[in-house]
Amino acid sequence: MIPFSPPRIDDLVIAEVVDALRSGWITTGPKVAKFEKMLADYCNISNVLCLNSNSAGMELMLRWFGVQAGDEVILPAYTYTATANVIVHCGAKPVMVDVNDDFNINVENIRKAITSRTKVIMPVDIAGFPCDYDEINSLVKEEAVRKMFSPNTQEQRALGRILVLSDAAHSIGAKYKGKRTGALTDITVFSFHAVKNLTTAEGGAVCLNLPEPFNCQELYKQLRTKSLHGQSKDALAKSQIGNWRYDVTEAGFKCNMTDILAAIGLVELPRYDSEMLARRKQIFDAYSAAFSQNSQFQVPVYETIIKTSSYHVYPLRIKGISEAQRDEIMKRIFEQEVCVNVHFIPLPMLSFYKNSGYCIDNYPVTYDNYSREISLPVYFDLTDEQVDTVIQTVIQAVTK
Ligand SMILES: *Cc1c(COP(=O)(O)O)cnc(C)c1O
């Protein structure tokens, strides 16, 4: 069987995790601090906060910005449910917009969706391909759009415009005009979930890249406290002799990353570009070389003059088929013991959002992308032979 996306776990990873276990310090401590520094250097920014998930990171930042009932947050209809759920948790309204043929949020649709209640835009780099960041970043700075912005909190007043919070769950290592994700928007949130390119089993990170007057170093400290119940000292600081007394400054959350998890990232990140991204690119290139020979297939765009994907998901589309035909093709592929997937079932098609009044008919490109899409296996240990097996299996399933 060819699985869809198993993690890369080798002796180096195991040794570093064992090192954390043997050190006697297993929760947030020196390994998390080192991983945060490494991530900041990788993204070429000054401050990164590691947490236990991308979802926790996105919610923490929406709450920090003061997003609440009565507010609107714009996101693509085509994403994983986490992006929308965190908006709902804050009591705000997810405003879903249709996407482009490249699966990413459409900037003109964002423009049409902006109202005086819009507080945040959450672009998602679907499959690892960066969104149109120059256009999104200039849109929120346009005079007319700024004028419409009505701040309710100190943070919103300080920014004076809509916040751009990108969901980069798929796109660590992707590049836009030479810069890596993390340095492209005000705030970027990565996921290190088990199926993601760079995993720590579960985990996430918030990249801080806010303009003046924000001080990202100060904000990092504030958010760290916010992620630890608002407690003035973390467990490591409290464990120092005589340093037991603490205070609580707000009713914070509990979503810190542990040193056991950071250990995996400490091994993965230094070899991420040269090994993980390099191998994933080879697999993408092999798929595209094979499928572009046949006019029934539509291969994804993952590299342009200004954008380079992180090669997270290979979203193949088949031309002129229905959703039911796609499902049938997937069944045939599974019968040959090749695991494939669909990224994603659009949010308006999920019961919770459907019952909240969203309707897929309003998102024709989203539906078209979804209904013809099959995500193929991509992972470090996938061999060239297995890549060939996947290609032959897919071609047979489609032509049969
Ligand atoms: C995986 C994923 C998330 C959630 O990441 P967690 O770390 O599991 O919280 C969010 N957005 C997208 C697009 C994802 O694929």
Rounded to the nearest angstrom, the gap between the alpha carbon of residue 212 and the centroid of all alpha carbons in its chain is 25
Residues 309 and 327 in one domain: yes
Mean predicted confidence (pLDDT) in 304-324: 98
Task: Please give the number of the atom of ligand 1 that sits closest to the Cα of 196.
Answer: 1
CA of 75 to the centre of ligand 1 (A): 14
Residues 288 and 385 in one domain: yes
Given strand 307-308, what is the order of strands in its sheet?
179-180, 175-176, 307-308
Of 220, 246, 270, which residue sits at a domain end? 270
Residue nearest atom 2 of ligand 1, based on CA coordinates: 169
**CATH code assigned at 315:** 3.90.1150.10
Residue 239 has pLDDT above 90, yes or no: no
Residue nearest atom 5 of ligand 1, based on CA coordinates: 54
Task: Please give the number of the atom of ligand 1 that sits closest to the Cα of 124.
Answer: 13
Ligand 1 pocket mutation, candidates 49, 51, 54, 59, criterion most atoms within 8 A of CB:
54
CA of 241 to the centre of ligand 1 (A): 39
Task: Please give the number of the atom of ligand 1 that sits closest to the Cα of 343.
Answer: 15
Q: 36: pLDDT confidence band, cut at 50, 70 and 90?
A: very high
CA of 245 to the centre of ligand 1 (A): 36
Domain of residue 354, residue span: 272-399
For residue 80, is it within any domain? yes
For residue 391, is it within any domain? yes
Residues 256 and 322 in one domain: no
Of 214, 238, 270, which residue sits at a domain end? 270
Residues 136 and 206 in one domain: yes
Ligand 1 pocket mutation, candidates 80, 96, 190, criterion most atoms within 8 A of CB:
80
pLDDT single digits (tens) 358-376: 999 999 999 999 999 999 9
Domain count, the chain: 2
For residue 4, is it within any domain? no
Task: Please give the number of the atom of ligand 1 that sits closest to the Cα of 192.
Answer: 7
Please name which of 29, 54, 37, 302 lies closest in space to residue 199, comparing C-alpha atoms: 54
Residues 173 and 301 in one domain: no
Residues 227 and 376 in one domain: no
For residue 2, is it within any domain? no
CA distances, 346 to each of 40, 265, 350 (Å): 32, 30, 7
pLDDT single digits (tens) 181-226: 999 999 999 999 999 999 999 999 999 999 999 999 999 999 999 9
Q: Which residues line ligand 1 (CB under 6 A)?
A: 53-55, 79-80, 82-83, 124, 167, 169-170, 191, 193, 204
Q: Within 10 Å of residue 119's Cβ, how many Cβ atoms?
A: 28
Q: How many helices (H) and strands (E) does the chain have?
A: 16, 13
Residue 238 has pLDDT above 90, yes or no: no
Task: Determine the 3-state secondary structure of 306 from DSSP.
Answer: coil
Task: Please give the number of the atom of ligand 1 that sits closest to the Cα of 203.
Answer: 7
Query: What integer pLDDT is reported at residue 167 of this predicted model?
Result: 98
Compute the 3-state secondary structure of the chain and give helix, strand, coil in percent, each to the nearest 5.
45, 15, 40
> What predicted TM-score, i.e. pTM, was given to this entire model?
0.97
Residues 256 and 342 in one domain: no
Distance between CA atoms of residues 222 and 227, nearest Å: 9
Residues 76 and 225 in one domain: yes
Residue 13 has pLDDT above 90, yes or no: yes
CA of 191 to the centre of ligand 1 (A): 6
Residues 209 and 340 in one domain: no
CA of 334 to the centre of ligand 1 (A): 25
pLDDT single digits (tens) 177-187: 999 999 999 99
Residues 259 and 281 in one domain: no
Residues 168 and 259 in one domain: yes
CA of 82 to the centre of ligand 1 (A): 6
Of 252, 270, 288, which residue sits at a domain end? 270
